[in-house]
């Protein structure tokens, strides 16, 4: 049963602008809070992590170095506009991939080694 009792803040990339000296900068990202349902990480996501560990143990180049899957969130498709970052439970995450069709999307979010806690 879906409760829709959690929220996630989607971050829309900021506009790039140029200062008087010619340097390029990014402004603050736009924030948009939407309702979501949290799901546990499924077996497919866990097997993907395991296959990355096997590649590292065999000295093969891992494809997802520094990424940890953290949460899967169900959102309404109408609310999700292909953002690639979000804030969930006061932590910043990258949206690793989104799946689904119709009215719902499942977002798998995770952190990279360089993600820092956002100022709120």
- Domain that includes residue 47, residue range: 6-10+28-112
Tens-digit pLDDT profile for residues 102-114: 999 999 998 876 5
Rounded CA gap, 47 and 2, in Å? 26
**Dihedral, CA of residue 13, residue 46, residue 73 and residue 79, to nearest 10:** 50
Integer angstrom CA distances of residue 119 from 8, 57, 60:
15, 37, 37
19 within some domain? no
Question: CB–CB of 44/3 below 8 Å?
Answer: no
97 within some domain? yes
What's the whole-model pTM score? Answer: 0.69
Tens-digit pLDDT profile for residues 13-29: 888 888 999 999 888 89
Domain count, the chain: 1
pLDDT at 1 over 60: no
18 within some domain? no
118 within some domain? no
């Amino acid at each position: 049963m879906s409760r829709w009792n959690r929220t996630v803040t989607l971050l829309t990339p900021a506009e790039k602008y140029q200062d008087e000296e010619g340097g390029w900068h990014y402004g603050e990202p736009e924030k948009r809070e939407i309702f979501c349902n949290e799901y546990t990480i499924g077996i497919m996501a866990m097997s993907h992590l395991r296959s990355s560990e096997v590649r590292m143990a065999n000295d093969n180049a891992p494809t997802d170095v520094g990424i940890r899957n953290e949460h899967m969130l169900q959102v309404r498709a109408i609310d999700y506009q292909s953002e690639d970052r979000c804030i969930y439970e006061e932590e910043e995450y990258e949206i690793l991939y989104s799946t689904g069709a119709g009215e719902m999307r499942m977002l798998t979010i995770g952190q990279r080694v360089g993600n820092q806690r956002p100022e709120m």
